[in-house]
Amino acid sequence: MSDTDPSPILVTGAAGFIGHAVSTRLIQRGERVIGIDNLNDYYDPALKSARLANLNALDGFGFEQMDVSDADRVKALVQDNGVQRIIHLAAQAGVRYSIENPFAYQKSNLEGHLSLLEASRHAPDFQHLVYASSSSVYGDKPMGGVGFTEEEPVNEPVSLYAATKRSCELMSQSYARLYGFPQTGLRFFTVYGPWGRPDMAYFGFTQKILAGEPIEVYGEGKMARDFTYIDDIVDGILGALDNVPEPHGNRILNIGDSHPVGLMEMIQTLEDALGIKAEKIMRPMQPGDVTSTFADVSKLHALTGYQPKVMLKEGLQNFVSWYRDFYGNMPPR
């Protein structure tokens, strides 16, 4: 427990990929954590249950199963436990899924974010709301050899998911102005690693390659992503949490690796880690996807000293080791 602030930290989406890692690190550094998650079946619930089992085994972790859009329950939980700091990671993820199930994004992302804003503004002595945004807010912009900066226009989302994440930033801006409590929005760039999400490309490729099935490579393999290892992401989140902005501030920060990697290079690196060559089926880019992402993280670095440490080769090797330990060589259900 922190000597300066004994109140627990609320982590939403605690059974999710990033929420699991953040909660673990917070407890390791002596904090108390209250995690909430609705444990939905967007992907393999067994993976969420396993993450949650890890957390429940740690002293200092408490869990409540609830939906972040349940504003009354969230507000009561915050007030009853004296929560003064929140890391809001719960959301309906996935660019492509937003095309199939748009109303899931209204409920989880928009209503859920508003629920946390209301809980924060009514919490006595509230200190800091850190929330997850996304690199998808930048739209499909040319990479041009330099990273995307927080000052760039973000008015042309190419997916509903991106539109909801930008909407959350604007909602936070209005609440920061109206009610004064400090907020930090973090634009995540393609997070990967052990305990990751099965809907991510590297995870799905691993499943198919191990099952002897061909992989579908979208965008004809010409896309690039700023792959960011989970441990580096956690470093950045906690650094942002500990550096509280001024009252009435809604600070926006990129959090990525700042070394974009082409899709074909990522596949080659994954093949090397698996020791198996993939059969590839080339496909055109899917609706809602973007060509490239590239984070300029100079603001986060200046604020916290953030410096990504794990490059893609090491990160994918770590993922493959975890995958084989967790699933064997069989894909999940």
DSSP string computed for 229-248 = EHHHHHHHHHHHHHSPPPTT
Strand partners, 9: 33, 85
Residues with Cβ within 8 Å of 235's Cβ and at least 6 positions away in sequence, in order, are 304, 306, 309
Q: Residue 97: what are its φ and ψ, rounded to 5°? A: -65, -30
Amino acid (one-letter) located at 132? A
Which residue in the list 161, 192, 306, 323 is annotated as catalytic?
161
Rounded to the nearest 10 degrees, the angle between the axes of helix 312-327 and helix 263-274 is: 50
Distance of alpha carbon 21 from alpha carbon 188, whole angstroms: 15
* Distance, CA of 198 to chain centre: 14
Q: Are 127 and 85 in contact (CB under 8 A)?
A: yes
At 85, the amino acid letter reads: R
Q: Return the structure tokens found at 132.
A: 């997850």
User: Number of C-alpha atoms within 13 angstroms, CB side, residue 141?
Assistant: 21
| Cβ density class 258-269: b for 16+ within 10 Å, e for less | bebbebeebbeb
161 counts as catalytic: yes
Positions annotated as catalytic residues are 161
